[in-house]
């Protein structure tokens, strides 16, 4: 896993400890859309609560560090959700 700040100029998806499904879905969506994106699980127990998600949730972060989208939990279909949000955020 890479450190979440390893690509400060790109969009990042940060997931809680149980959010591996988000990381996988984000990697696939980024490849389909042809965009650079770093997706990683944050391995700190207290982190999800600090950003308003559960351990299986995720946030999408712009290069300026602003959270542009939040999924409190993994929900039914992380792949569909992240694909939709990336297309909306990127206006595609």
33-58 pLDDT, tens digit per residue, is 999 999 999 999 999 999 999 999 99
Please, which residues bridge with residue 69 across strands? 60
> CB-side exposure of 35: number of CA atoms within 13 Å?
21
Phi, psi dihedrals of residue 87, rounded to the nearest 5°: -65, -40
The dihedral of CA 12, 47, 73, 24: what is its sign?
A: positive
Instruction: Give me the pLDDT at residue 9, please.
Output: 61
pLDDT, greater one: 11 or 75: 11
């Amino acid at each position: 896993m890479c450190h979440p700040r390893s690509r400060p100029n790109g969009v990042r998806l940060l997931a809680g400890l149980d959010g591996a499904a988000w990381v996988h879905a984000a990697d696939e969506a980024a490849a389909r859309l042809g965009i650079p994106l770093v997706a990683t699980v944050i391995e700190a127990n207290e982190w999800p609560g600090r950003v308003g998600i559960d351990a299986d949730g995720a946030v999408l972060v712009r290069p300026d560090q602003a959270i542009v989208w939040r999924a409190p939990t993994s929900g039914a279909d992380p792949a569909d959700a992240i694909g939709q949000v990336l297309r909306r955020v990127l206006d595609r």
